[in-house]
Amino acid sequence: MLVHIPGVFSPDEAREIQHVLQRAKWGDGKVTAGHQSARAKHNIQLPEDDPVAIELGNQIVQRLSHHPTFVSAVLPRKVFPPLFNCYKEGGSFGFHIDNAIRALKGHPERVRTDVSATLFFSSPETYDGGELVIQDTYGEQQVKLPAGDMVIYPSTSLHRVAPVTRGARIASFFWTQSLVRDDGHRRLLYDMDQAIQRLTRDVPDHEALIALTGTYHNLLRQWADV
C-alpha cells in the first residue's frame, strides 16, 4: 500500500528544516546500506548519532505520533529513528529492497522494517530528477512530493532514487515496525478505518457504525502482533 501523506510539516517548517540540514556535517551514505545496496548507493547522509539528526528525528516521530493518516495506515509499534540524506551532482540509489531488520546504534533493540517512509524537505522545483521510483502491484510509481509531504510504502517493495541532475534533494527516510505485519491486512484495515471516519462525519448516528467499528477491532485483534 502506497500512501501520500501531505503536510506533515508546513512549507515554512520544511524550509527551516532544510536550512538546518544544509549547514549540517554530512558523510558517506553507504554507511547504513547493506552489502548489496551499498554498491548502488551514491549520496551523502547525516551520521545516526549526529545531534542535528537526533533532534530533527525526534520532531518527526513526535509529529507523526499524532498524525491520523500515519497512525491509520501504518499502525506503528516501533519507529526506527529517522535518518537524513541528500542527493546532488548525479547522486542516485539503484533498485534495492530495504534490509528486513534494522539495529538501533548503541542499543540492543531491533526493528523489523514493515513500512518505509520518505519525508521530503526540498521543494520539487529546486531540483531535477530525484524521483522515488517504487515497483508495486500497479506497476512503477514515481514519487516527487512538495516539501513537508511524506510517502509510505511496504518495505518489501523494490525501489530506487533517480539521479539528481540539478540542485539537491534533501529528505528524511525511516522504517516502522507495524502492529500488523502483512501489508494486505494493513490495507484492509486502513480502507475500513477511512470508511468509518467518513460515515462518522456524514451520518454519525447510523447504527451500522457500531458493527463496522466492532469488525475493525476484531480484525485488528486477530492480526495484531504485540
What residues form the annotated binding site for Fe cation? Answer: 96, 98, 159
Which parts of the chain are beta strand (E)? 3-5, 27-28, 41-42, 44-45, 76-79, 83-88, 92-96, 101-103, 110-112, 115-120, 128-129, 132-136, 139-143, 150-154, 158-161, 164-166, 168-178
Q: Which residues are annotated as a binding site for 2-oxoglutarate?
A: 169
212 DSSP assignment: H
What residue type is 90 in one-letter code? Answer: G
Q: Which residues of 179-208 are buried (b: 16+ CB within 10 A; e: fewer)?
A: bbeebebbebbbebbeebeeeeeeeeeeee
Q: Which residues are annotated as a binding site?
A: 96, 98, 159, 169
Q: Residue 147 to residues 69, 104, 144, 178: CA-CA distances in angstroms?
A: 18, 27, 9, 25
Nine cell digits for residue 35: 552489502
